Structure 1
Amino acid sequence: MAKADRKRALRGRAGRMKGGRGSGRASPGQVRLWGRHPVEAALKNPERQHRKLWATREAIESLDGELPPDFPVEYADVQDLARLVARDAPHQGLVLECAALEDCYLDTVATGDPDAPVVVLDQVTDPHNVGAILRSAAAFGAACIVTQDRHAPPESGVVAKSASGALETVPWVRVVNLARALDELAEAGYWRIGMAGEADATLAEAMPKGAMAIVLGAEGEGLRQNIASHCDALARLPISSAIESLNVSNAAAISLYAAATRNKGDA
């Protein structure tokens, strides 16, 4: 079936949204994503189990690729869709409800590749920051991000929107004990660098040539003492004294760039 014909057939089968629930929350056990890049990435991810897509006709036409013929789609206008997402969220005419991604484990994704650093986040709880860090991790080829389950945001539309599709491609490892995870990384051959503004060494001076883990703390508090003590080195970014610190997602992006270029003479 031609693409245009398939879309017409799909539109013919789709229902018309009747008002919407207005809660902005997903069904139990589901995650609600919105925006073109997060929704497209989720639709292309074979690991996702999809429940339903609400969309405007224009947004469906703009999607990259084709939906399966039996995909559950319900058409809606912009005002209806706004009631399905967080307040003032830029849904761009697409709202997808799907199951959360399956858990992944550190020993399956942290393989010791020196070109794929691991990013460890110590109590970074802002979903916008975590999403932005996922996006940088995808851009610079990180192996995964690691967070402590109790002190990190859940998978959500806000994280996915900030990640701009990277939620579907970068493994997100959630652990019970972050210090123990750092021990496991050391056993796997990773050099663990804790980012701390008070450190004497710069990141360029502290980086090894082999596998490395970049450990970042929450804004304001920084790394907890116990987490810093589980790092092999502490390092700082050489920023101007005119500013006290960088946003954690900016620091992550710069650190990942430095890691990506360290053996190429560009850093």
Structure 2
Amino acid sequence: MSTTYAVRDSVTMLRRNLRHLSRYPSLALMLIAIPVVFLLLFVYVFGGTLGAGLPVDGGGGRADYLNYLVPGIWIMTVASVANGTAVAVAIDRTGGMFDRFRTMDIAQVSVLTGHVLGAVIRTLLALTVMVGFALLLGFRSAAGVAGWFGVAGLVLLLAFSFTWLTVAMGLAAGSIETASNTPLVLMVLPFVSSGFVPTEQMPPGLRHFAEHQPFTPVIETLRALTSGAPVGSDGWTAVVWCVAIGLAGYVWSRRELTAVGRRGR
């Protein structure tokens, strides 16, 4: 099937996913609610204490901790939407939608592409809400136009990459419950990164893991972009991680899609 037909079919599947979003707004609200709760919890319950430990002159306060925390919350927003995508894929698979699509004259990968593109759009909407909410709480950024374009580009690259990974998880899951639990690791990893506390304050073994896992260079890059500081090597490391995870997720998804087709015959 030609690339033109694949693109056309992917757009059709994207429209299908957007219709689901409009018909079930409560699902989108739940995906946004989780990062909002964490933002409020860490700023207003732990922010005073955690902010005092930040490496700033004279120690930090709640306002300093808010600026430090926001990039990590954005990452959790991406992970939350990606988690919902795994569930949506599992619903399609267990509900027989993949069997129906297989009988149609469409590019089979477009079914997955529609989920991925829909998730990226949901991520963009959720992050817009989160940025506005953070600004209302007092978040301030020294980033210029180029810096904000860099933030948007990196976050969308991360969303695209991790969504392909969770699509594969949804296909590989044997049930909807499994699909909802497997991607939870993406919600846990930000806690073991520089998203909530500086890695320098962690024990040596945990610090080594935190500094070399995918989320830390992404968070550090976002933090540098929003503060107007030099990005350094973290920027390239973040991009490499995103590309590697996205490629692995895509290959895994195609393999699982082929396996689903074989089992359906």
- TM-score, normalisation: structure 1: 0.25
TM-score, normalized by length of structure 2?
0.25
Q: Which has the higher helix share?
A: 2
Q: Which has more radius of gyration?
A: 1
